[in-house]
Structure 1
Amino acid sequence: MRFLIFLLFFTSLGFAQTNSYNISFSNAEHHEAKIIVNFPEIEQDSLIVRMSRTSPGRYALHEFAKNVYGVKATNSKGEALGITRPDPYSWLIKGHDGTVNLEYTLFGNRADGTYSQIDQSHAHLNIPATFIYAEGHEERPVEVTFETEAFPDWKIATQLKHEKNNTYSAPGLYYFMDSPTELSDHAVREFELDGQTIKFALHGPATEAEFNQYFEQVKKIVEQQKRVFGELPKFDFGEYVFIACYLPHASGDGMEHRNSTILTSTRILGEGGIKRNIGTVAHEFFHAWNVERIRPQDLEPFDFREADMSGLLWFAEGFTSYYTPLTLVRSGIITPEEYAEGLNGSFNYVWNSPAREYFNPVEMSYQAPFVDAATSVDPVNRENTFISYYSYGSMLGLALDLQLRQKGQNLDEFMEILWEKYGKPGNPYTLQDLETTLADYAGKDLASEFFSKYIYNSKMPDYENLFKTVGLKIEKASEKAFFGTSIQADKDTIYISENPRKNTPAFKAGLNLGDRIISLNGTEIKSEEAWEEMIENSEVGDNWNLEIERFGNTILKSVKLEQDPTYQISIDKKASSKAVKAREDWLSGK
């Protein structure tokens, strides 16, 4: 649907009236942009203009209208028009003469994949967070001019089509909203692959050597992921651009778009960013296939007025997360040992979580509108009820890949089939489509078992035997005693800093978030170090007598310590030659 809409827009470009935007930054020091819009040939008596509440790639509401003010409207003669507010997100304009000229001020001070930041270093623009649009005119072509007189050194990085000078265009609202833009004095590297240009625009302090080193890794990632799908997508205008802001005043994020991605981090390349930022590059570029073109049907068409919910994020985001470190090890950016070590965090987070009692991966995906950078002020019980669909799907992708490899198949081939069947022709897929395609590829029995046990249910695959087939081993990390929740220090005391997870010693003892620990077995505990020392000196099965303060009252609690449930995944030095060969094939790719 998205692909077909895109083609329709391009076919109509040049025939429909164009909505034109002009944005300038003379007050960037105070994080403001001035925006002027022209909506011509309006046929309806009243025009509703609105700010989006959502953003492509995000699934929650963000209420961008809160940063818009000073809204004025005039007709073609410059005469003021009346404006009313039918709801918090829109403006109703009446009495126009077929033309509405709009003017407003935007405040923006967050550089990430969702919001906009305007300051003297750059204008980092996420389009839904920046531009008002006209309701009922979504299929009109869009033209935008970025005024840079106040900052003549600024260059423009965007997937929008360059028209002339600082003017760019989009075939319609959907493409426009999907086109983040960075204006700054950034550096650019590029290379050609299969007749297309891959660009990397870097805004942030970096030496030539650091940027060159980083860009070489980017090239390896692009080439390696192309091997999975057999080809690059056909990028619009023959170009894909990574837009990176690695700045102390940025916020860490990554956000995929049709022909570009936003990469933001507080880590500059010379201070650990080369190693710590590269994973986001791998994740976001994989999305150029998986989610941008291999597209869940329940995200079509994207709704700019309401939260966009999908039950397929365990695949769209999760399988992409599986390929993130896999791409790095296949590219030689990390070692097999580092890859195996990196599995531990997600593995323990997913399989030691009590949340699987409540939601399967599809239902976890439905939680996205509440967790995907969404904000709320009331406490929640996520420790017990939610597993990120990124991590959950990543572990399921790992299990499916290793299971397929026992049959002489692999997940790379399955992803390529999905690309040919759904992504390349622009056909959105359903949950049933995934199961049917897997059945066609690997057999009905394997597909039925995988989906019934692990997608429609929340069972745990047999990782011990799966890992054994590729020369990995999994074992309990330690025999240490386990309390079951986190503590933090605050002034003279320590307190429980999260909801205890269900069935842990702390949960069974009836401890809660916010409980202040006064003493343990009669000994005052006032620091995290003292607490950790008590853990180290305790054994599984020990009974602790805790004196806590809750709501101003002193309460005694008894806690029986259990074994640490954490698992450790590592390279098996005693693996068979067959398993070692299978691991080498897996971690080297096609």
Structure 2
Amino acid sequence: MQKFQLLLIIFLFSILVNAQVSSKYDISFENAIHHEASIQVTFTDLKSDEVEFRMSRSSPGRYAIHEFAKNVYNVKVTDGKGNLLKITRPNPYAWYVSGHDGTIKVSYTLFANHGDGTYAQIDETHAHLNMPATFMYVPELSENEMEITFNVREDLNWKVATQLKHLEDNTYYAKNLQYFMDSPTEITNYRTRSFQVDNQIVKLILHDDAATNEDLDTYFDHIKKVVLQQKAIYGELPVFDYGEYTFLACYMPNATGDGMEHRNSTYLVSTRSLAKGGINQNIGTASHEFFHCWNVERIRPKSLEPFNFEEANMSGELWFAEGFTSYYDDLTLCRAGIISQPNYITGLTGAFNYVWNSPGRDFFNPIEMSYQAPFVDAAKSVDETNRENTFISYYSYGSMLGLALDLSLREKGLSLDDYMKLVWQTYGKTKTFYTIANLNETLNAYAGKDFGNHFFNNYIYKSGMPDFKRLFETVGVNLSNDNSKVDLGVYVRHGKLMNNPRINSSAYNAGLQKGDKLIKVGATEINEDIDLNELLTSYKVNDTVDIVFERFGETKTSTITLQVDTSYTISLMESDKKPLDKNLKTNRENWLQAKE
């Protein structure tokens, strides 16, 4: 009797569990050579008379619209008994059916040949799957559980790598749509390395046919150093679902460069093999994406919750979520000894000049720059824009703000490390979504109200430039510019202006525009053998120079008044003849040395 009751309980529990799974996917890759996948999905527990199923228009970690439905075709729908149902199309992204019996079975073909952090790619090297680009879903079932079975190509020795929960064989589980869509999957003949940190596993999955096992070991050693240095900032790793974090690295010639963060994994994608420079060139992306497992995945802006798969996702916090993460990616590599301190310092120069010399600060503050993400984050348009003059990447802008805040805090005996740790403890660990005002309040609590409000009022709510010359000096770094050099304010290649001239620059004030081709500058004819930068060194600031150029096939003339080159140089104070002051050296070491 007891045995019968036990079996009955197990049977009823099994029915209950199965009833909770309302979306069951099955994907196969017989026609991988032509970049196609065959997908079948059964949706159950449907309550609406007319059911909508659709493709996503956005993808976690991206902020722009991506029309994934364009690669779906051969769509067929039946009810649970196999009766064919009529499909209607209310818009380009969705399909409607009615007359079902609480269940619909959908089959379709997906074309996929763009292997990056957002799209999907299927060929005989791998099935590279970002879920929004691959799978239809029913919005009314978004809170229900999901299962997926990957029918791998055994003839190609494929294996599945994903953050989804493994059930059995090649079947995996997600608790709801948000988790499912956030779980990229690499199916290929990969190699793997792993190590344990505080009873959790950090894994590297590598799809890189050219890399040797020695390359893999060296790269994984870099990843271990990154993980431990970033853990030292926050004092702990996040609690990863199912106790694992996975780097999904696809370094193949058919891939498209990218990196994309997810809750317990990241896609690292590049055409650079570890065997061809990728060990050092790819590690920066790995550093950036792992930092996201705190900052943006768990330290989560309220504006991105819940993530909307049907629209663009706009957030005013990207200067912090993406930008401060960008500050820490190379800083981590420096602390880990992967790049040297001198190279780290000089490496700041490009982003520094890009941000602080941009006219974009006259139009948008860091919050408003973050609002631009739906227009620039892998978004495509055919019309011209003036972003050279109006936009600064929130990655770079936020990175420079992170640098400024870190050095400013260190003047007070504090650090950005400890501020980030406090933000983690206040919002990330407590699963509380934050606002910009919350970040301001937390800085006030950490560094004092006057300090916190000054930083936010001048550099976040406004577009002011911090006193970097003084801040750099506190860590033994020189910030300088050469007031004798001139600059056109536009990128010129083989005499042709390749972008819109910077507002109020020499070229801008002379009326030059993108597409113009310089024929003559002063007495010098411009051809492919002429180094324009070298030519400009023969002129002084405020010199007036006649120019001849071609526009739309017509020869024109103008006069340029050459303006000062406003770019900066960042360098170490010490030299062979003059060692660095002991206090400044200590300050720099506290900033750049490895953390315990």
User: TM-score over 0.5 for the alignment?
Assistant: yes
Q: Which residue of 2 aligns with 1:329?
A: 334
Instruction: Provide the rounded CA distance (Å) in 2 between the counterparts of 1:99 and 1:292.
Output: 34
2:420 aligned with 1:412, yes or no?
A: no
Q: Deviations over 1:146-173 (max 9, x none)?
A: 0014544011110000000010010010
Residue 450 of structure 1 deviates from its aligned partner by: 0.2
Matching residue of 1:7: none
Q: Kindly indicate whether the alpha-carbon contact (under 8 Å) linking 2:22 and 2:45 is maintained by their aligned counterparts in 1.
A: no
Whether contact under 8 Å (2:205, 2:248) holds in the other structure is: yes
| 1:259 Cα offset (Å) | 0.1
In 1, the alpha carbon distance for the partners of 2:410 and 2:19 equals: 52
2:177 pairs, out of 173, 197, 201, with: 173
Residue of structure 2 in register with 1:9 after alignment: none
Matched, 1:203 2:207: yes
Q: Match of 1:512?
A: 513
Which portions of structure 1, spanning 4 or more consecutive aligned residues, are displaced by more than 4 angstroms?
A: 12-15
Give the corresponding residue for 2:442.
437
Q: How far apart, in 2, do the equivalents of 1:124 and 1:116 lie?
A: 5
CA contact (8 A) 2:300 2:433 kept: yes
- 1:57 Cα deviation (Å)? 0.4
Amino acid at match of 2:246: V
Question: For the Cα contact (< 8 Å) 1:25–1:150, is it kept in 2?
Answer: no
Q: Give the corresponding residue for 2:253.
A: 248
Instruction: State the shift of 1:18 in Å.
Output: 2.7
- Over 3 Å counting, the alpha-carbon distance change for 1:348 and 1:498 in structure 2 is same
Query: Hey, what's the Cα distance between the residues in 2 that align with 1:474 and 1:409?
Result: 23
Q: Which one-letter code corresponds to 2:277 in the other structure?
A: G
CA contact (8 A) 1:482 1:561 kept: yes
Question: 2 CA distance for matches of 1:532 and 1:587?
Answer: 35
Q: Tell me the residue number matched to 1:503.
A: 504
Shift of 1:477: 5.3
1:343-389 deviation line (CA, Å, top 9, x unaligned): 00110000000110000000000000000010000000001000000
72-81 vs 281-290, which deviates more? Answer: 72-81
Cα distance change of structure 1 residues 32 and 518 upon mapping to structure 2, 3 Å threshold: same
Aligned to 1:374: 379
What aligned pairs does 1:158-557 form with structure 2 within 5 A after superposition?
Answer: 158-204=162-208, 205-476=210-481, 479-489=484-494, 494-527=495-528, 529-557=530-558
State whether residues 361 and 455 of structure 1, in contact with CA within 8 Å, keep that contact through their aligned partners in structure 2: yes
* Residue type at the aligned position of 1:134: V
- Structure 1 residue 283: Cα displacement: 0.3
Matches of 2:31 and 2:47, distance apart in 1: 35
Quick one: which amino acid aligns to residue 449 of structure 1? H
What amino acid maps onto 2:139 in structure 1?
Answer: E
Q: Answer yes or no: is the 8 Å Cα contact 1:124–1:182 preserved in 2.
A: yes
How many Å separate the matches in 1 of 2:64 and 2:525? 44
Per the TM alignment, residue 16 of structure 1 is displaced from its structure 2 partner at its CA by 1.8
Cα displacement (A) at 1:398: 0.5
SS state at 2:141 partner: coil
What is the Cα deviation at residue 488 of structure 1?
A: 2.1
| SS of aligned partner of 1:212 | helix
Match for residue 78 of structure 1?
82
Structure 2: distance between partners of 1:201 and 1:155: 11
- The residue that corresponds to 2:159 in the other structure is 155
**Relative to 1, partners in 2 of residues 1:478 and 1:334: Cα closer, same or farther, differing over 3 Å?**
farther
**Are 1:318 and 1:393, in contact at CA under 8 Å, matched by a contact in 2?**
yes
What CA distance in whole angstroms lies between the structure 2 residues aligned with 1:528 and 1:381? 30
The CA deviation at 1:551 is 2.9
Identity of aligned residues (%): 55
Q: Distance in 2 between matches of 1:242 and 1:577?
A: 40
1:469-507 deviation line (CA, Å, top 9, x unaligned): 111111115743211101123xxxx32110000111001
Q: Distance in 1 between matches of 2:522 and 2:425?
A: 64
Pair 321,13 (structure 1): closer, same or farther in 2 beyond 3 Å = farther
Normalising by structure 1, report the TM-score: 0.96
Residue aligned with 2:64, SS:
coil
Give 1:248 shift: 1.2
Corresponding residue for residue 563 of structure 1: 564
**Cα-to-partner distance string for 1:78-123 (whole Å, 9 max, x where unaligned):** 1211001000000001111221000000011111100000000000
Aligned equivalent of 1:4: none
C-alpha separation in 1, matches of 2:274 and 2:482: 33
CA contact (8 A) 2:26 2:149 kept: yes
CA contact (8 A) 2:124 2:156 kept: no
Aligned to 2:348, what secondary structure does the other structure show? helix
**Are the equivalent residues in 2 in contact too, given 1:217–1:333 (CA < 8 A)?**
yes
Residues 41 and 98, structure 1, Cα contact 8 Å, conserved in 2: yes
Taking the aligned partners of 2:18 and 2:401, their CA distance within structure 1 comes to 47
| In structure 1, C-alpha distance between the alignment counterparts of 2:249 and 2:355, rounded to whole Å | 30
Kindly tell me: are residues 175 and 472 of structure 1, through their superposed partners in 2, closer, same or farther at Cα, counting changes over 3 Å?
same
Aligned to 2:127, what secondary structure does the other structure show?
Answer: strand
Which residue identity does 1:588 align to in structure 2? Answer: Q
Q: Structure 2 vs 1, CA of residues 524 and 38 (structure 1 numbering), >3 Å: closer, same or farther?
A: same
Residue pair 2:323, 2:398 contacting (<8 A) in 1 also: yes
Say which SS state the counterpart of residue 18 (structure 1) adopts: strand
TM-score (norm 2): 0.95
1:300-330, CA deviations, whole angstroms, 9 ceiling, x for partnerless residues? 1100001000000000000000101110011
How far apart, CA to CA, are the structure 2 residues paired with 1:529 and 1:276?
A: 32
CA deviations 1:231-282 (Å, max 9, x no partner) are: 0000000000000101111111100000000000111111110111100011
Assess, with a 3 A threshold, how the Cα gap between structure 1 residues 196 and 303 changes in structure 2: closer, same or farther.
same
Query: Aligned residue for 1:29?
Result: 33
Q: Does the CA contact (< 8 Å) of 1:402 and 1:410 recur in 2?
A: yes
* CA gap 1:75/1:324 in 2 versus in 1, 3 angstroms: same
The amino acid that maps onto 1:178 is D
Measured in 2, the distance between the counterparts of 1:260 and 1:95 equals 40
Deviation digits for residues 189-235 of structure 1 (CA, Å, limit 9, x no counterpart): 00000000000001012101111001000000000000000000000
User: 1:535 and 1:517 mapped to 2: Cα distance?
Assistant: 14
Contact 1:464 1:473 in 2 (8 A): yes
| Cα separation, 2, equivalents of 1:532 and 1:405 | 39
Mean Cα deviation higher: 119-128 or 542-551: 542-551
Q: CA–CA distance in 1 between the matches of 2:436 and 2:420?
A: 15
- Cα distance change on mapping 1:231 and 1:528 into 2, 3 Å: farther
Tell whether the 8 Å contact from 1:487 to 1:528 is kept in structure 2 after alignment. no
Task: State the 1:15 CA deviation.
Answer: 5.8
Q: How many angstroms apart in 1 are the aligned matches of 2:347 and 2:122?
A: 36
Change (3 A) 1:149 1:484: closer
Corresponding residue for residue 138 of structure 2: 134
What residue ranges of structure 2 are gaps of 5+ in the alignment? Answer: 1-15
Distance 2:48 2:388 in 1: 51
How far apart, in 1, do the equivalents of 2:292 and 2:17 lie?
27
Q: Match for residue 11 of structure 2? A: none
Of 460-469 and 537-546, more deviation after overlay is shown by: 537-546
